[in-house]
Structure 1
Amino acid sequence: MPIIVNLDVMMAKRKMSLNELSDKVGLTLTNLSILKTGKAKAIRFSTLESICNVLGCQPADLLEYTEK
């Protein structure tokens, strides 16, 4: 997939665990884990907004497009 999810990178920069992010964003660990590993097929804008708000970042910090 040409979309790369850099959620783990941003979490490491903010020294935040998956459990902590899950609590603050209001998503289950399972859903965040699927997103973090790049296995998600889609993400809602409201979810992306919540993650960016908690991590203090932009959507481009989390999602990257690469050509195949």
Structure 2
Amino acid sequence: MPDDPGHRVKVHLDRMLATRGMTLVELSEKVGVSVVNLSVLKNGRARAIRFSTLTAICDALGCAPGDLLEVERGQ
């Protein structure tokens, strides 16, 4: 769970990269986002994502936003 108690969005970027046989460096080159910023997203530490970035990631991975993001149920 992320540090922010109101934040229940889980990011499945690691799973999508593994499924596609792609590294974070390769994704970074395809979408024009730094490896550091993608790592923050992958590790669930991001507090926000631009729609343009999400669109570029989805285009590069051939997926939809719902494949990358999930809202965990409240406790």
TM value normalised by structure 1: 0.97
Unaligned runs of 5+ in 1: none
Instruction: Give the aligned length.
Output: 68
Give percent identity, aligned residues only. Answer: 56
2:70 is the alignment partner of 1:64: yes
Secondary structure at 1:40's aligned position in 2?
Answer: coil
Structure 1 runs (4+) greater than 2 angstroms displaced? none
Q: Considering only aligned residues, what root-mean-square deviation do their CA atoms show, in Å?
A: 0.6
Secondary structure at 1:38's aligned position in 2?
Answer: coil
Unaligned runs of 5+ in 2: 1-6
Report the CA distance between 1:60 and its aligned residue.
0.2
CA radius of gyration, larger in? 2
Q: Distance in 2 between the 1:20 and 1:66 partners?
A: 28
